[in-house]
C-alpha cells in the first residue's frame, strides 16, 4: 500500500506537467510560452573545408529547437535578424525550400527559424518587418534550420537559433541599416502581413 501511495503523487505530477504544456507552431513548449531545446548538437570542425568564425567549433554544444517563441497575434514578435544570401552563389546551401529557386540579393526575402517556419505553412507569404524606425514587407522563401547543422549539408554552420529572421541584403537596405552594420545581428519585430 505504501508503494501505491508514493507512486500516485509522482504519476499526478507527470500528468499535470503534460496537461500544462501548450503547443506553439505545432511543437511543445511550456505553459509560460518558452521554447526549450530538444537536444544539443556536438560541433565538429571540418578538416577539408576552409571555415570562418561562423563555422561550428569542435566539441561545442549547440542547442536544437523545433519550436520558436510564441507569435504575438495582436502585436509584433521580437526576433534577431541575420544576413543571408539566397542566390546561386549565396550561403543558403541550395535552392529555397518554398519554391525550389534561388533569389537575388536584391529581392526582399527571408528564412524563418524552424518553429516559425511551421513545416512550410508560411511559405511564399509576406511578413512585415520593423527595425531602425522603418517597416518593410518581405516574402518567406526558406527555413532557417534550428535542428540540423555542423555538417556539409549546412555548410558546417550551427543550427539556427529559434528566434531568427534570416534576411536578404535587400531587406537590410530597405530598413535603412547603415552599411557598416549590415551583417551584424539586428533586433527587429515582425508579424504576418
pLDDT by residue (tens digit) across 169-185? 999 999 999 999 998 89
Cα 186 from Cα 129, distance rounded (Å): 12
Q: State residue 93's pLDDT score.
A: 72
The per-residue pLDDT for range 5-54, each reduced to its tens digit, is 443 334 333 333 333 333 333 333 433 468 999 999 999 877 777 788 88
Report yes or no: 24 and 67 within 8 Å, Cβ to Cβ.
yes
Q: State residue 83's pLDDT score.
A: 96
pTM for the whole structure: 0.81
Cross-strand pairs, 61: 42
pLDDT at 139 over 70: yes
Report yes or no: 65 and 113 within 8 Å, Cβ to Cβ.
yes
Q: State residue 32's pLDDT score.
A: 44
Q: State residue 130's pLDDT score.
A: 98
Report CA-CA distances (Å) from 15 to 3, 21, 29, 117.
Answer: 18, 10, 15, 30
If we measure between CA atoms, which residue out of 79, 82, 120, 77 comes closest to residue 98?
Answer: 120
Cα 59 from Cα 102, distance rounded (Å): 33
Q: State residue 14's pLDDT score.
A: 32
Cα 42 from Cα 13, distance rounded (Å): 32
Q: State residue 53's pLDDT score.
A: 82
pLDDT at 189 over 60: yes
Cα 88 from Cα 78, distance rounded (Å): 30
pLDDT average, residue stretch 75-81: 94
Cα 24 from Cα 32, distance rounded (Å): 11
pLDDT average, residue stretch 75-103: 91
The lowest-confidence range among 9-13, 70-74, 134-138, 167-171 is: 9-13
Mean pLDDT in the chain? 84
Q: State residue 33's pLDDT score.
A: 64
Cα 161 from Cα 111, distance rounded (Å): 12
Cα 54 from Cα 156, distance rounded (Å): 9
Q: Would you call 16 helix, strand, or coil by DSSP?
A: helix
Q: Would you call 120 helix, strand, or coil by DSSP?
A: helix
Amino acid at each position: 500500500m505504501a508503494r501505491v501511495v508514493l507512486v500516485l503523487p509522482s504519476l499526478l505530477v507527470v500528468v499535470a506537467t503534460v496537461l500544462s504544456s501548450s503547443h506553439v507552431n505545432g511543437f511543445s513548449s511550456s505553459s509560460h510560452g518558452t521554447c526549450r531545446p530538444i537536444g544539443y548538437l556536438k560541433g565538429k570542425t571540418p578538416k577539408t573545408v576552409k571555415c570562418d568564425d561562423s563555422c561550428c567549433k569542435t566539441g561545442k554544444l549547440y542547442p536544437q529547437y523545433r519550436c520558436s517563441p510564441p507569435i504575438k497575434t495582436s502585436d509584433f514578435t521580437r526576433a534577431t535578424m541575420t544576413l543571408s544570401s539566397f542566390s546561386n552563389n549565396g550561403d543558403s546551401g541550395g535552392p529555397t525550400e518554398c519554391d525550389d529557386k534561388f533569389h537575388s540579393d536584391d529581392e526582399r526575402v527571408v528564412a524563418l527559424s524552424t518553429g516559425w517556419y511551421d513545416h512550410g505553412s508560411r511559405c511564399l507569404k509576406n511578413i512585415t518587418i520593423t527595425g531602425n524606425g522603418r517597416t518593410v514587407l518581405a516574402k518567406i522563401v526558406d527555413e532557417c534550420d534550428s535542428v540540423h547543422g555542423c555538417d556539409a549539408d549546412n555548410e558546417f554552420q550551427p543550427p539556427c537559433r529559434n528566434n531568427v529572421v534570416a534576411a536578404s541584403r535587400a531587406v537590410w537596405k530597405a530598413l535603412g541599416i547603415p552599411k557598416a552594420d549590415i551583417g551584424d545581428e539586428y533586433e527587429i519585430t515582425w508579424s504576418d502581413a
